[in-house]
Amino acid sequence: MTDRQWDRREWLKGATALAAGTATMGWGAALAQGKPVTVGFIYVGPRDDYGYNQAHAEGAAAVKALPGIKIVEEENVPETVAVQKAMQGMIVQDGATLLFPTSFGYFDPHVLAVAAKNPSIRFAHCGGLWNEAKHPRNAGSFFGYIDEAQYLNGVVAGHMTKSRKLGFIAAKPIPQVLRNINAFTLGARSVRPDVTTTVIFTGDWSMAVKEAEATNSLADHGIDVLTMHVDGPKVIVETAAKRGKLVCGYHASQAKLAPNAYLTGAEWNWATAYKQIVEAARSGKPHPNFVRGGLKDGFVKNSPYGAMVSEAARKQADAVRAQMVAGQFDIFKGALKDNTGKVVIPAGKVLKQTDLELESMNYLVEGVVGTV
């Protein structure tokens, strides 16, 4: 824990009662007085994790570069009441008027509770599903269609696998994770229909020992290309490379960790969503409660191809990417079966990225070895 984190948390012991009755200066007043607007960012892990938190920190750095903006950051904040204390501290101690609590588990109940107590403060959460009927209007969620980039990871993996056995190491079977596993598998099977993806769930976002064990277990079973959905992919990437396996990254680029194993990766560009939400607040526009975007919107991207990626893999992935950007490619469409043989999307039905049905996905598609 940093000195700043300790100071804020100790200070909060005496400030919570004061916070409830203190009026916080809004965006308009701050701008009128020429004061910098303070924006807070909260991370569940370290900002240099080569993954989820690093991607958000890179987005925060882009916000910091905007004129008239000051940012405050706190890392290693667990998905417990600790994040409520961190948010309240940024509001009262630092004067933050817009908060980005970034981890999935922060939303309910923590963001919702603090937002209800601070109606003049804006809260933008990553990945939660904001509901107009029951959630505060000063709260909202943003996310991106990273499954597009994971589908392209799958296309490349489908070309590069020799064993036709892929591996996916994931934290928890929540809809966003299942969507990535399924998109990756569908991308690979568009190249080779007999490819399988074996999934191992570790149980939490950052579990280095379990991630290493899962990687080794998959390698022992003949899997030769791996990807992941955990907060910090560093352990998986490095372990896979040591075992002579190939890897597709996630969240941010891990290419420099394993240049001879890294095929490509699905990366976030959080600066795009951040700037949209910041500018709405700066201009006094209503808080964007539900922000989404994909490749064509600049919310996500793929890492540059590694030198070992074949020309055929590059050509097919580039062609599919162009279709996605043009709005001419749908990942999830019928007839689609789950891995128990049940039809989950009937023939003739197409789910667009904007369909909320995708944000409640609860199945693994045909070709995935594993259970939810």
Which amino acid, one-letter code, is at 36?
P
Q: Where are the alpha helices (DSSP H) in 50-173?
A: 52-64, 81-92, 112-117, 146-160
Instruction: Render 240-306 in DSSP notation, one character per residue.
Output: HHHTT-EEEEEES--GGG-TTTEEEEEEE-HHHHHHHHHHHHHTTPPP-SEEEE-GGGTSEEEPPPP
**Looking at residue 32, what is its pLDDT?**
42
| Dihedral (Cα; 241, 245, 251, 257), 10-degree rounding | 20
Contact 156, 123 (CB under 8 A): no
**Looking at residue 239, what is its pLDDT?**
98
pLDDT beneath 70: ranges in the chain: 1-34
Residue 56 C-alpha from the chain's centroid: 9
**Looking at residue 34, what is its pLDDT?**
53
Q: Are strands 368-369 and 196-201 parallel, antiparallel or unpaired?
A: parallel
**Looking at residue 323, what is its pLDDT?**
98
- The neighbouring-strand residues paired with 365 are 338
**Looking at residue 12, what is its pLDDT?**
38
Q: How far is CA 119 from CA 92, 125, 138, 291, in A?
A: 14, 15, 6, 20
- The neighbouring-strand residues paired with 42 are 74, 101
Of 118, 100, 105, 107, nearest to 277 by C-alpha is 100
d(CA 272, CA 286) in angstroms, rounded, equals: 18
State phi, psi for 346 to the nearest 5 degrees.
-70, 160
d(CA 221, CA 234) in angstroms, rounded, equals: 21
For the stretch 120-149, pLDDT in tens is 999 999 987 889 999 999 999 999 999 999
d(CA 306, CA 309) in angstroms, rounded, equals: 6
For the stretch 27-77, pLDDT in tens is 444 444 457 899 999 999 999 999 999 999 999 999 999 999 999 999 999
- Token digits for 85? 């204390």
d(CA 90, CA 338) in angstroms, rounded, equals: 44
Kindly report whether the peptide bond that precedes residue 347 is cis, defined as omega within 30 degrees of 0: no
CA angle 125, 131, 137 (to 5 degrees): 70
Enter the pTM of the model: 0.86
Q: Are strands 300-302 and 262-268 parallel, antiparallel or unpaired?
A: antiparallel
| Dihedral (Cα; 303, 307, 311, 314), 10-degree rounding | 0
**Looking at residue 352, what is its pLDDT?**
96
Of 206, 315, 309, nearest to 255 by C-alpha is 309
**H or E element: which one contains 184?**
helix 175-189
**Looking at residue 36, what is its pLDDT?**
84
- The neighbouring-strand residues paired with 290 are 141
